[in-house]
């Protein structure tokens, strides 16, 4: 027998859920609204903001002052590039840890994760000096390398948990059937892990797209992604809410759209194996 839920109770819970959802979404909504206001209207009291005139001025100005296309392409190259490199390293690594674990595999996984617990600023100076000496400052290659490394632990962990769900007997069957290591990973493991690999790919692109610490520290113009584009509208010239909001909206729009269209895949991947 299923539990009986009264209509009122259902109504209250539904309203509460929508309220929490709205609260979480509100900052993004407010940024989008402010982007369509004039600089003077944007700093008014909230109600006055809503009733003031709508305008595209901020977008025009942002377009004139910065090279959105360059930053957009930098973001795409850095996030997709670092994700693909990370996957190329992580798939064989996770295969090894999931299917031929050694005595220290668990420790190794914990150690990798522990590097994420360290505050990034702790290694800023040595990283900066290395980048300077190798001529990597403001270069896409250098940044792809950094983003790959900082997200690699998460990518390996995610793939490891997906691979653990794949029965070892299937891989053994492939071995009996004459598949070498390459054929085993290519024809059996990867196709079976596609949902997991896809959600890892999406999540990592989102993480890399929004990464702000290293991208702000190690780039200035040529390799600067959209995080730098947003930042250029905050501190140096005082605060310009409307332009900052317009820039932020332009920066998050692509990743928001990507997330919207792939949400089914993302959720499926993140709950992979949770229900047998």
Partner 1 sequence: MGQITLSSVTKVFGDVTVIPPLDLTINDGEFVVFVGPSGCGKSTLLRLIAGLEDTSSGKILIDGQDATDAAPAKRGLAMVFQSYALYPHMSVRKNIAFPLKMAGASVEEQNRKVENAARILNLSSYLERRPGQLSGGQRQRVAIGRAIVREPAAFLFDEPLSNLDAALRVTMRQEISELHQNLKTTMIYVTHDQVEAMTMADKIVVLNAGRIEQVGSPLELYRNPQNLFVAGFIGSPKMNFITGAEAAKHDCATLGVRPEHLDVVEGGPWQGVVGIAEHLGSDTFLRVHVEGIGDLTVRVSGEMGLHHGDRVSLAPQAGKLYRFDANGKAIA
Contacts of 255 (CB under 8 A, 6+ apart): 205, 206, 209, 210
x/- binding map, residues 68-87, to partner 1, per CB under 8 A?
Answer: --------------------
Residue 40 or 191: which CB sits closer to partner 1? 191
**Smallest separation (angstroms) from partner 1 to the CB of 167:** 6
x/- binding map, residues 132-171, to partner 1, per CB under 8 A?
Answer: -----------------------------------x-xx-
Select from 63, 108, 138, 175 the one that contacts partner 1 (CB under 8 A): 175
Please give the distance of CA 100 from its chain centroid, rounded to a whole number: 30
Select from 31, 76, 124, 179 the one that contacts partner 1 (CB under 8 A): 179
CB 99 within 8 A of CB 171: yes
**Closest by CA position to 227, among listed 143, 171, 149, 126:** 143
Applying CB under 8 A, which part among 35-43, 133-141, 180-188, 218-226 lies near partner 1? 180-188
Assess 273 for contact with partner 1 (CB under 8 A): no
The CA radius of gyration of the chain, in Å to the nearest whole number, is: 23
Locate 253 and state its tokens.
């729009």
Q: How far is CA 253 from CA 57, 158, 206, 240, in A?
A: 18, 26, 12, 20
3-state helix, strand, coil in the chain (%, to 5): 75, 0, 25
Applying CB under 8 A, which part among 139-147, 183-191, 218-226, 248-256 lies near partner 1? 183-191
Please give the distance of CA 195 from its chain centroid, rounded to a whole number: 17
Residue 121 or 173: which CB sits closer to partner 1? 173
**Smallest separation (angstroms) from partner 1 to the CB of 187:** 8
**How far, in Å, CA of 173 to CA of 113, rounded?**
32
**How far, in Å, CA of 139 to CA of 224, rounded?**
8
Sequential DSSP letters for 187-209: IIIHHHTHHHHHHHHHHHHHHHH
CB 155 within 8 A of CB 87: yes
**How far, in Å, CA of 86 to CA of 155, rounded?**
7
Locate 79 and state its tokens.
């996030």
Residue 135 or 191: which CB sits closer to partner 1? 191
**How far, in Å, CA of 101 to CA of 209, rounded?**
33
Assess 176 for contact with partner 1 (CB under 8 A): yes
Residue 21 or 168: which CB sits closer to partner 1? 168
Assess 174 for contact with partner 1 (CB under 8 A): yes
Assess 188 for contact with partner 1 (CB under 8 A): yes
Residue 11 or 180: which CB sits closer to partner 1? 180
**Smallest separation (angstroms) from partner 1 to the CB of 192:** 6
Select from 119, 122, 191, 236 the one that contacts partner 1 (CB under 8 A): 191
Applying CB under 8 A, which part among 63-71, 88-96, 186-194, 260-268 lies near partner 1? 186-194
Q: Which residues bind partner 1 (CB under 8 A)?
A: 167, 169-170, 172-180, 183, 187-188, 191-192
């Amino acid at each position: 027998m299923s539990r009986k839920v009264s209509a009122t109770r259902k109504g209250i819970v539904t309203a509460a859920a929508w309220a929490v959802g709205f609260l979480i979404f509100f900052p993004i909504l407010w940024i989008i609204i402010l982007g369509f206001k004039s600089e003077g209207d944007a700093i008014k009291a909230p109600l006055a903001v809503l009733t003031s005139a709508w305008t595209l001025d901020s977008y025009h100005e942002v377009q004139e002052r910065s090279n959105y296309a360059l930053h957009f392409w930098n973001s795409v190259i850095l996030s997709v590039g670092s994700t693909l490199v990370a996957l190329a390293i992580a798939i064989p690594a996770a295969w090894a840890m999931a299917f031929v674990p050694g005595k220290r595999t668990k420790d190794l996984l914990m150690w990798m994760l522990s590097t994420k617990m360290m505050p990034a600023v702790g290694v800023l100076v040595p990283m900066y000096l290395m980048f300077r000496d190798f001529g990597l400052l403001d270069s896409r290659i250098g940044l792809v390398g950094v983003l790959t490394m900082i997200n690699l632990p998460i990518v390996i962990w995610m793939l490891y948990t997906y691979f653990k769900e794949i029965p070892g007997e299937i891989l053994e069957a492939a071995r009996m059937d004459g598949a070498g290591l390459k054929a085993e990973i290519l024809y059996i493991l990867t196709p079976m892990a596609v949902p997991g690999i896809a959600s890892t790919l999406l999540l990592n692109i989102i993480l890399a797209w929004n990464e702000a610490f290293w991208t702000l520290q190690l780039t200035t113009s040529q390799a600067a992604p959209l995080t730098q584009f947003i930042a250029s509208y905050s501190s140096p010239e005082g605060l310009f809410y409307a332009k900052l909001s317009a820039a932020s909206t332009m920066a998050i729009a692509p990743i928001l759209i990507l997330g919207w269209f792939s949400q089914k895949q993302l959720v499926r991947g993140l709950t992979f194996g949770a229900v047998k």
